[in-house]
Amino acid sequence: MKSARPVVAHSVSPFLFSTGSWVYGQIRGLERWHAMVLCKSRENQSEYPWDDVTCRDDLGLVGQLAQSVGRARHGYMPVFVRALKERGAKLIHSHFGSQGWTDLPLARAANLPLVTSLYGADIWKLSRQGLWLERYRDLFARGTAFLVEGHAMRRRIVGMGCPVEKIYIQHLGVDTGTVRLGERTLGPDGLVRVLASGRAVEKKGFELTLEAFARAQHAYPKLRLALMLLARSDEELARAAALRARVTQLGLDGVVEFPAPMPYAQYRQSLYGYHIFFAPSRHASDGDAEGGAPVSLIDMSATGMPIVASKHCDIPEVVRDGHTGILHRENDVDDAAKALLELARSPERWVSLGRAGRAHVEQEYDLAKQVTKLERIYDQVTAG
């Protein structure tokens, strides 16, 4: 059944990975456009519910085999083409560059424009491989438009050959209307509670987090650290175990804790128990990097938490140095420790930094505003 509103097909798989709130926000927040979803598999349906989904894995084994044959023969799954035509879709929005390249034959078969959002490892890591660099050049030539989070990613893809006129800077957003501003103040115990969180991967800089925190805590014993790690793969689990062992080696048992991961809504509520967010992101040895900036930084600023972070990729566009937090040189343990110590020793600055961070998010990273911009991009793309 066709929608009364123009339809955009969001292509992302699985729909939706546990940390995909920023993709879900782009889908759920649309007002003038209606979103359908194309995916190979589904996950976390209770956390990210959506009705208009065409999923390969819903077809059963025989149907899945037929789609695999169609994909091998034509480059796309026939069920997706049928869904696009039945729903009267006006364009395809692929999430991640790898998915955009995969969707090129689908867009051609359905005769639809293709918009691709670029986020991080899809460009910084994959583009180091000759095969993917050629694929991205193909995508840049044949794709209609490309969305990036900030100027660092924009410069990166221009350097890879993406035409400037095809690039839009499109910030990710949080629903500030549902996020309470909580002013951080020092409690009666005088402890300064620092939070670091994310997937247990090299680009998050958690090894540097511990080294810098140890140096800062030695100078200021009132510091405490919560390191909330998401680890699923064998490599991530091994990194998490190594980080726990490093805490013991540094003599930080009882000073550093490892809270268990929790559902996103519960995680958001837990943020008000911390004073400072610490995010020393860096380029990984395999080329992986934050595409723009971690969405967690937007989340933290929305709650009014001041931030210490690295000058990495588009982080300086989210965290305004000296205004909403303090930035340090990437991969510099001493500079990171200095920045953390400076903020920990200045609780009188927390409220003003937090308010400024919240105001910055409301202006530049509010979900409703960013979705309005996204719909205007859809309008422009479909207008040719």
Percent of the chain having pLDDT more than 70?
A: 100
Q: What is the SS3 assignment for 281?
A: coil
Give CA–CA dist 161/366, Å, rounded: 31
Residue 2 above 80 pLDDT?
no
pLDDT tens digit sequence for 114-164: 999 999 889 999 988 999 999 999 999 999 999 999 999 999 999 999 999
Among residues 171, 5, 29, which one has the least CA distance to residue 90?
5
pLDDT tens digit sequence for 174-195: 999 999 999 999 999 999 999 9
Confidence of residue 339 (pLDDT cuts 50, 70, 90): very high
Judge whether 98 and 126 are in contact, CB under 8 Å.
yes
Confidence of residue 242 (pLDDT cuts 50, 70, 90): very high
Residue-wise DSSP of 179-221: S--------TT--EEEEEEEESSGGG-HHHHHHHHHHHHHH-T
Give CA–CA dist 85/44, Å, rounded: 27
Quickly count: other Cβ atoms within 10 Å of residue 258's Cβ: 14
Give CA–CA dist 95/92, Å, rounded: 10
Judge whether 140 and 109 are in contact, CB under 8 Å.
no
Q: What is the domain partition of the chain in residue ranges?
A: 7-173+366-382, 176-364
Query: Average of pLDDT values for 308-330?
Result: 97
Query: Average of pLDDT values for 342-360?
Result: 98
pLDDT tens digit sequence for 259-297: 998 887 899 899 999 999 999 999 999 999 997 888 899
Residue-wise DSSP of 8-19: EEEE-SSBT-TT
pLDDT tens digit sequence for 21-62: 899 999 999 999 999 999 999 999 999 999 999 999 999 999
Query: CATH assignment of 176-364, given 3.40.50.200, 3.40.50.2000, 3.20.20.60, 3.30.70.1450?
Result: 3.40.50.2000
- Chain-centre distance for alpha carbon 34: 23
What is the predicted pLDDT for the residue at 19? Answer: 83
Tokens of 156: 């990166």
7-173+366-382 and 176-364 have identical folds: yes
Query: Average of pLDDT values for 316-340?
Result: 98
**Dihedral over Cα of 309, 314, 317, 321: its sign:** positive
Q: Round the average pLDDT of the chain to a whole number and report it.
A: 96
Specify the DSSP class assigned to residue 174.
B
Give CA–CA dist 117/346, Å, rounded: 39
Residue whose token pair is 């480059």: 75
Residue whose token pair is 């919240």: 358
Residue 91 above 70 pLDDT?
yes
Residue 102 above 90 pLDDT?
yes
Residue 325 above 70 pLDDT?
yes
Residue whose token pair is 């799954």: 77
CATH fold of the domain at 7-173+366-382:
Rossmann fold (3.40.50)
What is the predicted pLDDT for the residue at 261? Answer: 87
Distance set, CA 21 to CA 26, 89, 268, 273, 379 (Å): 9, 23, 12, 21, 24
Confidence of residue 1 (pLDDT cuts 50, 70, 90): low
What is the predicted pLDDT for the residue at 3? Answer: 81
Residue 310 phi, psi dihedral angles, 5° rounding: -90, 160
Query: Average of pLDDT values for 226-239?
Result: 96
